[in-house]
Amino acid sequence: MALLHQLGDLFLAAVPTAILLFLFYLFLRWAFFLPLLQVMAKREALIEGSRKEAESLVAAAQEKQRAYREALRKGRAEVYAEQETARRAALEERSRVIRQARAEAGGEVQAAKARLAGEVETARKALDASGAQLAEDLARAILEPAGGAR
């Protein structure tokens, strides 16, 4: 029994220490752990908010990049279309100039052929007239010495 009585005295002596320890726990929880948990919760909320904001910024940047690429593609298509239009206009102008030059050259060739044909005709007439004169002169030259010797 003495052992039981000693345990009871030891228990009674430990009760104030246990109560002080429990009060110290409550004080630390109120003064230290609860504010620390609140700060950690705020920090976690801020981190999560920043993460969501970063994700939205990345999505917005990707959308802007897609829009930029689309605008760049459309711009290139417009430039290519303008270049193609300019190329076709240049080819049409070139074809028109070539046709005009051919027509002018053909007209000049026809005029030269007509002029040459006129000159040939004039030369023939002159040769014919000259040939008749030469034939007369030749006949006279042949016939005169024979006629003078008689």
Q: For residue 147, with 0-12 CB atoms within 10 Å meaning exposed, 13-18 middle and 19 or more buried, which class applies?
A: exposed
- Distance, in Å, from the CA atom of 97 to the CA atom of 79, rounded to the nearest integer, reads 27
The yes-or-no verdict on residue 87 having pLDDT over 60 is yes
- Over residues 6-15, the pLDDT tens digits come to 888 888 889 9
Amino acid at 84: E
- Over residues 104-119, the pLDDT tens digits come to 999 999 999 999 999 9
The yes-or-no verdict on residue 67 having pLDDT over 70 is yes
Average pLDDT of the residues of the chain: 91
Instruction: Give the model's pLDDT for residue 150.
Output: 46
- Over residues 121-144, the pLDDT tens digits come to 999 988 888 888 888 888 888 888
The sign of the CA dihedral 68, 70, 73, 76 is negative
- Distance, in Å, from the CA atom of 41 to the CA atom of 36, rounded to the nearest integer, reads 9
The yes-or-no verdict on residue 17 having pLDDT over 70 is yes
- Distance, in Å, from the CA atom of 1 to the CA atom of 100, rounded to the nearest integer, reads 139
Question: Averaged over 25-42, what is the pLDDT?
Answer: 94
Amino acid at 89: A
